[in-house]
Amino acid sequence: MDSSEWDARYSSVEHPWGSAPAAALSARFAELMPGRAIDLGCGDGRHARWLADAGWTVHAVDFSSVAIELARSGGEDRSIDYTVADARTWEPSEPVDLVAIGFLHLPVDELVAVIAGAASWLAPSGRLLYLGHALENFTHGVGTLACARLGWAAHDTPVVSLVNRPVDTLAPALGDRTRLLVLSRDEHTPAAVAELLTERGFGPSRLTVLGELGGPDESRLDGTASAWSHEPGPRLNVIAIDCRAESGALRLTRLPGLPDAAFTGDGQMTKHEVRALTLCALAPAAGEVLWDVGGGSGTIAIEWMRTHPLCRAVTFERSAARVDQITSNAAALGVPSLAVFGDAPVAFGDVPADLSAPDAIFVGGGVTQDGLLDECWSRLRVGGRMVANAVTAESEALLLQWFSRCGGQLRKFQVYRGEPLGGFTAWRPQLPVAQWSVTKQSKGVVA
């Protein structure tokens, strides 16, 4: 990474390495007589601050000007000099008693040259400390190392990152007798994950928290989600979850459709069986964007997003109360990033650029609204799919017209549910649903 990439990193994440010093540094230097120190590749300055507080006169160097700015603002009132410079070429003007280089990962030949150069800056009896991550983290990914510790097969173990995502996003990956690894955001993530598991009916799951994997201070904590009581450990950690569902917990898989009972609200939704058929027609794939027009309870958009972590969706709903139910269903079902907008088609203009060319559009409400289908059609990217469901005769007639203009498939579903009738079971018919699905072949306006 060059300095501008590091600038971007420091601009987007507050204290990416935490504010406490690495234990390996503080443990080694707590008893040393302070003198002059250099923190090379100092980042936002956690080691420089710790050294200054321990009495050292510190020169902190990093080639990211954003990092140095952050370090400077957090290290006021301490005897620290800051310099924006490249560690590969910078040199101090006088010998020092200590050089600390924390997690400065350069190509090996450059790193060797930097460390050799840094050793030459030391006064007699001076110390040099280099801290780095295990090389396996780069060559195999942290997942492989974690699996090696646990005796799990890396190729069978999904990895979920919570580094920049809310803990709710773990929910779709949970399943009884599933194993998975979670990349933590910080030292508080294990407790948050244990709480989520317990809330979602996975309290009996076994958790193992592997801290500072591959480093000299590697650690391990074990426990059960519902009884997790460990104090926060290392900020850098991976959580291994051996999922166990409580008996009777609602079973929620990634495959549509979820039971209707998985959604809360006023019951305004495409029901289980037709929802499964609708998602099947929409055919989500990783990275695709859905517009769900007439969101109701958010079921279609939520299930679209649950099929793959990279699937994104926007939903449009005019009723404020339903906007709330969509948002709470999205969080409960593990897709809190579902974007909710107001009245379609007016709100189409509010959609941010990265979501503005949908790969698929579902129209579950407002089919008969003047111009709605035309507006949806014009927003759909060429090659995208449009699926519209109709329950009323009027909306069905409109779908028939669009089918005759644009082609595609027309289908009609009639579902009967077996329900109690006195002491017997009767086939209770659900409302029949007509469905038009089509792939947009060209930019052309519909005649």
Ligand X SMILES: C[S@@+](CC[C@H](N)C(=O)[O-])C[C@H]1O[C@@H](n2cnc3c(N)ncnc32)[C@H](O)[C@@H]1O
Residues 87-126 that bind ligand X (CB under 6 A): 87-88, 102-104
Nearer to ligand X, 132 or 223 (CB): 132
Nearer to ligand X, 15 or 318 (CB): 15
Which segment (39-47, 52-60, 174-182, 212-220) binds ligand X by CB under 6 A? Answer: 39-47
Beta strand 385-390 with 360-363 is parallel
- Shortest distance (Å) from residue 183 CB to ligand X: 16
Nearer to ligand X, 61 or 388 (CB): 61
- 86 sits near ligand X (criterion: CB under 6 A): yes
- 42 sits near ligand X (criterion: CB under 6 A): yes
- Shortest distance (Å) from residue 102 CB to ligand X: 3
CA distance 139 to 42: 25
Nearer to ligand X, 25 or 376 (CB): 25
- Shortest distance (Å) from residue 170 CB to ligand X: 26
> Which amino acid, one-letter code, is at 266?
D
- Shortest distance (Å) from residue 234 CB to ligand X: 13
Nearer to ligand X, 218 or 246 (CB): 218
- 189 sits near ligand X (criterion: CB under 6 A): no
- Shortest distance (Å) from residue 73 CB to ligand X: 15
Nearer to ligand X, 102 or 257 (CB): 102
CA distance 184 to 231: 15
- What lies within 8 Å, CB to CB, of 279 at 6+ separation is 256, 257, 300, 303, 304, 307
Give every strand in the sheet of 409-413, ordered side by side: 339-341, 312-316, 289-293, 360-363, 385-390, 433-439, 409-413
Nearer to ligand X, 50 or 291 (CB): 50
- Shortest distance (Å) from residue 100 CB to ligand X: 8
- 17 sits near ligand X (criterion: CB under 6 A): yes
| Pair of tokens at residue 121 | 């800056």
Site size for ligand X (CB under 6 A): 17
Q: Do residues 322 and 366 touch, judged by C-beta distance below 8 A?
A: no
- 41 sits near ligand X (criterion: CB under 6 A): yes
Binder of ligand X out of 37, 62, 244, 362 (CB under 6 A): 62
Helix (H) or strand (E) run with residue 170 in it:
none
| Pair of tokens at residue 119 | 């050793």
CA atoms within 13 A on the CB side of 247: 0
Binder of ligand X out of 64, 208, 325, 389 (CB under 6 A): 64
Nearer to ligand X, 112 or 280 (CB): 112
Binder of ligand X out of 29, 36, 38, 43 (CB under 6 A): 43
Binder of ligand X out of 36, 46, 312, 379 (CB under 6 A): 46
196: three-class secondary structure by DSSP: helix
Instruction: Write the Ramachandran bin of 264: left for phi over 0, alpha for psi from -120 to 50, otherwise beta.
Output: beta
Handedness of CA 132, 134, 139, 141 (dihedral sign): negative
- Shortest distance (Å) from residue 218 CB to ligand X: 17
DSSP E strands: which ranges in 132-196? Answer: 159-161, 179-183
Binder of ligand X out of 6, 152, 202, 304 (CB under 6 A): 6
- Shortest distance (Å) from residue 157 CB to ligand X: 26
Nearer to ligand X, 109 or 354 (CB): 109
- 387 sits near ligand X (criterion: CB under 6 A): no
| Pair of tokens at residue 218 | 């590697």
- Shortest distance (Å) from residue 320 CB to ligand X: 45
**Comparing C-alpha atoms, which of 70, 46, 73 is closest to residue 58?**
46
**Comparing C-alpha atoms, which of 298, 201, 294 is closest to residue 247?**
201
Nearer to ligand X, 131 or 344 (CB): 131
CA distance 58 to 212: 26
CB atoms within 10 A of CB 164: 10
- Shortest distance (Å) from residue 54 CB to ligand X: 16
Q: Do residues 98 and 32 touch, judged by C-beta distance below 8 A?
A: yes
**Comparing C-alpha atoms, which of 214, 218, 31 is closest to residue 127?**
31
Residues 66-85 that bind ligand X (CB under 6 A): 67
Q: Which residue is nearest to ligand X (CB)?
A: 43
- 269 sits near ligand X (criterion: CB under 6 A): no
- What lies within 8 Å, CB to CB, of 269 at 6+ separation is 260, 263, 275, 296, 297, 299
Residues that bind ligand X (CB under 6 A): 6, 17, 41-43, 46-47, 62-64, 67, 86-88, 102-104
